[in-house]
Structures are given as C-alpha cells and as structure tokens.
C-alpha cells in the first residue's frame, strides 16, 4: 500500500511540475559604445533580475566612440536584430541640443527596425561629461524628444544621476574624466534601467523587493533609498525643465 501511495505521489508531483510553464527568459540587446560595453550594465541588470525572480540574458554590440549612425553604417547591430530579442536598448554619447533632429532620426530608424524584428525599442539616456554638468538639461530634453518621436521606452539614467547629485553632490557617480562611471554610477543606471524595463506593481514594490535589488548591486543601506528615489522619480515624475525654481536648483542652470 505504501509503495502504491509513493508511486501515486511521485506521479502527482511530476504531473504538477509538468503543468507549470518554464519562466520566460527576456533577451535584451544593447547597441551603443563603451558606456554600455564596458560598464558591466548588462551584468548588473541580470543580477537584479535574478534577485527579483526574473530571467534576463544580455548581449552587447558596442564599439568605442560609436554613435547610432556609426552602428547603422557598420551593419553588425542590424544583423544582431535577426537573432531574436525581446528588448533592444539604444545608446550613444549625449548629443548636443543642436543635434536633436539628427539624433531623433537615427533613433527612429533603429526603433522601426527593432519593432520589425519583433522586439521592443528602448532608449538609454546617457549622462554628459563630468566637466559639463550644465549639459544635463539639454541631454534630458534631447533624449525625451527622441524617445517620444520613436515610441521607445525611455531609460532616464542621466535624470536619475542628476536627481541623486541634487540631493548629495558628494556622490561618486563619475570615475575619472569624460563620461566614465564609477561603480555607484553604474549601479544607479542599472537600477533605473531595471525599473523602466520591468515596472513592478505596488504590491511587489515593498521593502523586501528593495532589499533584493540593493543586495544584488551591493549598495549600502545608507545610500539605497537615495538611489531608489532618484531612479523612480526620474521615471514617474520627470523634471519640468521649464526654468522653474526647482529645475534651476537641480540642474544648476540660471536660465529662465
């Protein structure tokens, strides 16, 4: 009798397991330059996803100094689209305000190809050079315009950086010269990317959820809430860059 029950139980367990669908793995492709190619953003994204019960794999097509126009001419990025992805993240160094039309055109060209390949386009908002903090405002505006025109999901990493620095200018987000990010800067960028690409409902977004994310990125508890606030507000409460007192305070602009 015990043998029969054991066999029946094993069969029921196996049957139940067979009915549970395997977790879908989200395939993400990054197309950009050294900012996404050398900053381990993909590794950070997959760690956060795993910590929150998601499965994400990342591939990168990146070359130092490349803009989206260069990728279009090179052809490797367009070829990569045929390998089948769920999300494709586009990135290049922050364009100047006078380059807005050309940048928007390149983003639209890629976004159309991405959708044709069956994937969702996303645009990563790159931060300006460390010696050009006054460029944050233009950077945000140019990326917002391109994302809206192309229907791409906006990953407002630069705005999250700006908000975090507005709260604590001592934060070490940059490393060295140019746009090179320190570990904390890449953590904030990865967190912003995760929140933008995999939005959580109010029931999921609780203290335990945040602990998992901070643990995956090895973020100190003393810094966690500041980064989470910067990332979520950049997504849910975009800055009104209209010369308001708040806007001038955060961006350091004196324009009206």
Least confident of 35-49, 125-139, 221-235: 35-49
| Phi, psi torsion values for 176, nearest 5 degrees | 75, -145
**Residue 167 is assigned to a structural domain of this protein:** yes
- For the entire predicted model, the pTM comes to 0.87
Could you list the residue range(s) of the whole structural domain that residue 48 is in?
24-251
**Residue 191 is assigned to a structural domain of this protein:** yes
**Residue 213 is assigned to a structural domain of this protein:** yes
**Residue 59 is assigned to a structural domain of this protein:** yes
123 membership: H or E segment, kind and range: strand 120-124
Residue 34, CA distances (Å) to 45, 86, 200 in order: 16, 22, 29
**Residue 98 is assigned to a structural domain of this protein:** yes
pLDDT per position as a tens digit, 121-142: 999 999 999 999 999 999 999 9
**Residue 8 is assigned to a structural domain of this protein:** no
The upper half-sphere exposure of residue 194, i.e. CA atoms within 13 Å in the direction of its Cβ, equals 34
Rounded percentage of the chain residues whose pLDDT exceeds 70: 85
**Residue 11 is assigned to a structural domain of this protein:** no
CB 78 within 8 A of CB 72: yes
Tell me the C-alpha distance between 159 and 164, whole Å.
Answer: 9
pLDDT per position as a tens digit, 198-219: 999 888 999 999 999 999 999 9
Tell me the C-alpha distance between 159 and 250, whole Å.
Answer: 10
**Residue 130 is assigned to a structural domain of this protein:** yes
Q: How many domains does the chain have?
A: 1
Q: For position 76, what pLDDT does the model report?
A: 94
CATH label of the domain that carries residue 160:
3.40.50.1110
């Amino acid at each position: 009798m015990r043998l029969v029950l054991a066999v029946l139980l094993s069969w029921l367990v196996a049957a139940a397991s067979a009915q549970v669908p395997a977790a879908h793995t989200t395939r993400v492709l990054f197309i950009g330059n050294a900012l996404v190619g050398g900053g381990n953003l993909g590794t950070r994204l997959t760690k956060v996803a795993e910590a929150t019960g998601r499965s994400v794999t990342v591939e990168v097509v990146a070359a130092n100094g490349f803009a989206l126009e260069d990728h279009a001419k090179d052809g490797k990025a367009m070829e990569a689209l045929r390998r089948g992805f769920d999300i494709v993240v586009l990135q290049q160094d922050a364009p100047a305000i006078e380059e807005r039309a050309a940048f928007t055109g390149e983003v639209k060209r890629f976004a159309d190809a991405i959708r044709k390949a069956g994937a969702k386009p996303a645009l990563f908002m790159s931060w300006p050079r460390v010696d050009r903090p006054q460029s944050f405002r233009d950077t945000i505006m140019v990326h917002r315009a391109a994302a809206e025109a192309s229907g791409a999901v906006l990953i407002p990493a630069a705005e999250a950086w700006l908000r975090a620095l507005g709260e604590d200018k001592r934060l070490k987000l940059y490393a060295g010269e140019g746009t090179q990010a320190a570990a904390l800067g890449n953590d904030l960028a990865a967190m912003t990317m995760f929140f933008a690409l995999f939005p959580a409902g109010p029931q999921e977004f609780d203290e335990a959820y945040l602990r998992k994310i901070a643990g995956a990125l090895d973020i100190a508890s003393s810094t966690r809430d500041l980064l989470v606030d910067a990332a979520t507000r950049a997504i849910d409460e975009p800055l009104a860059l209209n010369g308001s007192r708040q806007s001038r305070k955060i961006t350091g602009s004196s324009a009206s």
